[in-house]
Amino acid sequence: MASYLRTEEVKTSLRVLVNQYIEECKNCEVIPQDFIDLLRHNFLAKFVFYNKADKKIEIGINQGSEPSGYPNIKVFSFPVNDTDWLDKSFKSDKNDLEFYGKLLNRNEVISSSELVLI
């Protein structure tokens, strides 16, 4: 059976999923692969890392190439206890919503049926 979701419903479901990922980060001190995929997608990041000591998520974003040919990657750190920074990164384009739908479909807690975006 399929579930039909609007854009706002997808974003609401993603917030629930993100809270689940954050709890997993805090409890297991490891960032789930699906959360890494979400962060890499939203921020066009080159890498995502969970800093256990500072309890922060570090995201490396390519800022262009240096004259020497090496990439210029800037690292942004976000506290794991505050997800406002992540809410601002959600996008509403068709391709982004399809990605979010696939991510929600992978989660058994949120989706027991196939999600269809409307």
Confidence of residue 8 (pLDDT cuts 50, 70, 90): confident
Q: How would you label 13-50 residue by residue, b for 16+ Cβ within 10 Å and e otherwise?
A: bbeebbebbbeebeeeeebbebbbebbbbbbebeebeb
Whole-angstrom distance, CA of residue 73 vs CA of residue 37? 18
Q: Which residue has the higher pLDDT, 14 or 66?
A: 14
Residues 24 and 49 sit within 8 Å (Cβ to Cβ): no
Residue 114: is its pLDDT beyond 70? no
> What pTM was computed for the model?
0.82
Query: What's the pLDDT score for residue 108?
Result: 61
